[in-house]
Structure 1
């Protein structure tokens, strides 16, 4: 984590580019264009979307309405499993570019490991092709276990190590094995559902910590994530919450507070979404 992190602080990626450590998620957004526009207007510079979210066009509309140049915004999208072939990946990226209204996407991910080794390999080759074409700056994966990355890197034609692995991460699901592996390999972890979709913010430990620091439970959880060195992409369709979520940069959790929150880990039992990276071959 940068020494004095801010809303625009970045973490280095393994291909000499970087990723803003704080972003805005659009999954299941009911008002994507307006919500993403609010985020950009309030200083967010990192937007996360995906083919399966069916809101790439709405995300692109928000970027256009913001009137911010693309070089001031970091955009991530993801390939869905119905396009896991080499040509499918190329077509998928081209489609995302058109919907987003961009000439280049900063980060493009394979959304999940489910279709198996052959499909993952072929789609990765397609994403490498897109890097060579200049359509994508960085490529990575989502919901992948270490075994999937190890398997991919042994395949013919694979030249690029994933830059990021986007997974569910929060105090109740700390992904410790995966975190250790990614740190060793220089792969940045991006935390989706960092606020557990709101399901665990009433936890008494978090509530007490919030009262202690004069912060909200969401701010406590996001600050803890930030201090763990991950990228966080909280999502909200409420402008007030979008503003609240960014209020994590002028203070910090001390060591003893971090240790208390560390103790909340439930392993994979803490999963609030549908993905267990270890469940797929």
Structure 2
């Protein structure tokens, strides 16, 4: 069940970006060589993302496009209808990866129902691959044991130097799943971290680049969000940085379990 390295190692996150902002962001990212774009129904920007992709002139087959289904559309027929809607908005016949954005709060919709529906959407050709986001160790185990679970390729979770999320990362990787890190820059908090700044000086890089290099060196896909072309370029170049074992260990020590995405409907996290 080795799914390893299906996703491109870096992508562009589009959370909180709307209208022209997201069009500009996706446009410059594609120009710079990004080929992995991450959106979601909840971001309310799928149409704009689709427009930017279409206008870019980059062949559709060269782009790895991910969207996510929000938990209010988890009932079987509604989930499939919502993905048809997403494809329509994005202007594509199918997406490359569809994630369940969060587990169903309080198991309101049984996992077997929404995972089954997502698996069916894959068979219908609406999505090439399926995955999950914000699933805990217990939920990953449950999902993998269900029909359709064998097709899961990733768990997209919050990972940055202040939240290493080590247990969950290692568990997913041991099950052959890629881990995708959202908020890898801890919404900008990495920029002022003294340890990261010091390591950055050794590499003639920025603290943000060092944070991304640390995540990537753990075999985790990174999807930083950025609207500025120079930041997008710097994020791409971060993957060329190789941190020494000592530098990795120093960054490991910054882990404070500091979670940014923690809505009231979140599952009970693994400590």
TM-score by structure 1 length? Answer: 0.89
Q: 1:152 aligned to 2:152?
A: no
**Cα pair 2:97 2:130 within 8 Å, conserved:** yes
Spell out the pairing of 1:46-195 with structure 2 (5 A cutoff): 46-117=36-107, 118-155=109-146, 157-195=147-185
Gaps of 5+ in 1: 1-11
**1:242 Cα offset (Å):** 1.2
Q: 1:28 aligned to 2:16?
A: yes
Q: 1:273 aligned to 2:264?
A: no
**Cα pair 1:13 1:19 within 8 Å, conserved:** no
Higher mean C-alpha displacement, 127-136 vs 49-58: 127-136
Write out per-residue CA displacement over residues 197-218 of structure 1, whole angstroms, 9 at most, x where no aligned residue. 1023201101111112110111
**1:274 Cα offset (Å):** 2.3
Distance 1:207-1:277 versus aligned 2 partners, 3 A rule:
farther
**1:277 Cα offset (Å):** 4.5
**Cα pair 1:144 1:278 within 8 Å, conserved:** no
SS at match of 1:248: helix
SS at match of 2:54: helix
Distance 1:182-1:201 versus aligned 2 partners, 3 A rule:
same
The number of residues matched between the two structures is: 265
TM-score by structure 2 length? Answer: 0.92
Aligned mates of 1:134, 1:241 — CA distance in 2: 35
**Cα pair 2:190 2:208 within 8 Å, conserved:** no
Q: Match of 2:35?
A: 45
**Cα pair 1:32 1:59 within 8 Å, conserved:** yes
**Cα pair 1:88 1:123 within 8 Å, conserved:** no
Q: Match of 1:255?
A: 245
Distance 1:219-1:72 versus aligned 2 partners, 3 A rule:
same
Q: Match of 1:206?
A: 196
**1:153 Cα offset (Å):** 3.8
Distance 1:13-1:25 versus aligned 2 partners, 3 A rule:
farther
Aligned mates of 1:13, 1:110 — CA distance in 2: 21
Distance 1:167-1:99 versus aligned 2 partners, 3 A rule:
same
Gaps of 5+ in 2: none
Aligned mates of 1:55, 1:217 — CA distance in 2: 29
**1:17 Cα offset (Å):** 7.8
**1:149 Cα offset (Å):** 2.0
Write out per-residue CA displacement over residues 212-255 of structure 1, whole angstroms, 9 at most, x where no aligned residue. 21101111111111101000000011122111211123331111
**1:36 Cα offset (Å):** 0.7
**1:279 Cα offset (Å):** 4.6
**1:119 Cα offset (Å):** 3.7
